[in-house]
Amino acid sequence: MSELLADHTTLRLGGPADRLFTHTDPAHWADLARGLPTPPFILGGGSNTLADDAGHPGTAVRMATRGITFRRHGNNIVEVTVQAGEPLADLVAHCVHEGLSGVEYLGGIPGTAGAAPVQNTGAYGQQISDTLAHLTVYDWQQRTITELQPGQCAFGYRTSTFKTRPGRWTILQLTLHLTRAHRAAPVTNPHLADALGTRPGARPPLGEAAAGVLADRCRRGLSLPDTGPDARQAGSVFLNPPLTHAQAHLVRTAGGPVYRDDFGTLRTSAGWLLQLTHHHPGKRITPGIRCSTRRTLTLTVQGATSAAFTAALQTLARQVREATTIHLHPEPVRPPATSTVNGAPTR
């Protein structure tokens, strides 16, 4: 009997894949890929995946390779190479323990290191592309393992070429250049500055900054609990949407936040938009689907289906669009419906 995708996603939704492999040994990737006629759907930790109830009519590969190596690259620079299946949270913890700055504000984010470049994972003003030196990838067109430089990845706000060109590459490992330092990178996020009891621009001790991020994520419901009513979730269900100048004026007039992302685009908070349309933590959206007990932007599942979860997302997006003209874009990734599928890993 085929394995259920529900057993490999944090929403615990999804039917069987036609074939599902677990990849653990980096040395065996070429053999695995050679036996696949089309790119598989790549699963990371499954924390950003919304699989269909009917399952996936193709091959899925769960990326479970582990390992982190450190190599001196200069006076204060250390080259860190991490396998794609390594949990991102473990990578951050290891780097902080080694006294390396550059990813300390990414602590507590669920998912794998290999999935981080796909959506250019970021938090508190820091993103994975900031310190990325290069990626080792499998090119499905050329059928070879090669390297990609950051400039080839088209990084943007929660996007990259791995999202816009699905099926071209599978990420096998990341190489980062981190700085040996006792203090964290400058705090640029005002909320984080308040949470750490410091000011924007300050550089708190590295360990204290990393611990403060974890505490703040837990306090705000941004962590993935193992048990309880919020355990079945996929984190934030919508990206913070881009705004026209007219929409930005509307948001400001209503007392909402407007900011420019690291790439210069005006955006607002998707969570604030849901609150504007009368949603709140714990609110029932549809049968079996609720906002989490801690935050509006996370939906939790209690006995519902993937179809019901999708319908809840559509309902929320429609309500926001009708109230504000702003379009919300879902963040969870869906396995493609055909056997020609995404070669980029999901969280």
Catalytic residue among 62, 158, 290, 347: 158
Q: Which overall architecture, per CATH, does domain 5-63 show?
A: 2-Layer Sandwich (3.30)
In the annotation, is 236 catalytic?
A: yes
Domain boundaries, the chain: 5-63, 68-220, 233-330
Alpha-carbon gap, residue 147 to 135, rounded angstroms = 5
Q: Which overall architecture, per CATH, does domain 68-220 show?
A: 2-Layer Sandwich (3.30)
DSSP-assigned beta bridge partners for residue 290: 284, 300
How many other CB atoms sit within 10 Å of the CB of residue 37?
7
Q: Which fold has domain 233-330?
A: 3.90.78
Catalytic residue among 223, 236, 269, 306: 236
Catalytic residue among 160, 292, 294, 331: 331
Cα 159 to chain centroid distance, Å, stands at 10
Task: Kindly state the tokens that stand for 79.
Answer: 């080259």
Instruction: Specify whether the backbone of 59 is left (phi greater than 0), alpha (psi in -120 to 50) or beta.
Output: beta
The confidence band for 345, taking pLDDT boundaries of 50, 70 and 90, is low
The confidence band for 3, taking pLDDT boundaries of 50, 70 and 90, is confident
71-96: per-residue pLDDT in tens?
Answer: 999 889 999 999 999 999 999 999 99
Alpha-carbon gap, residue 40 to 308, rounded angstroms = 26
Q: Among residues of the chain, what percentage have pLDDT more than 70?
A: 97
In the annotation, is 158 catalytic?
A: yes
Alpha-carbon gap, residue 305 to 311, rounded angstroms = 10
In the annotation, is 331 catalytic?
A: yes
Is the predicted pLDDT of residue 346 greater than 70, yes or no? Answer: no
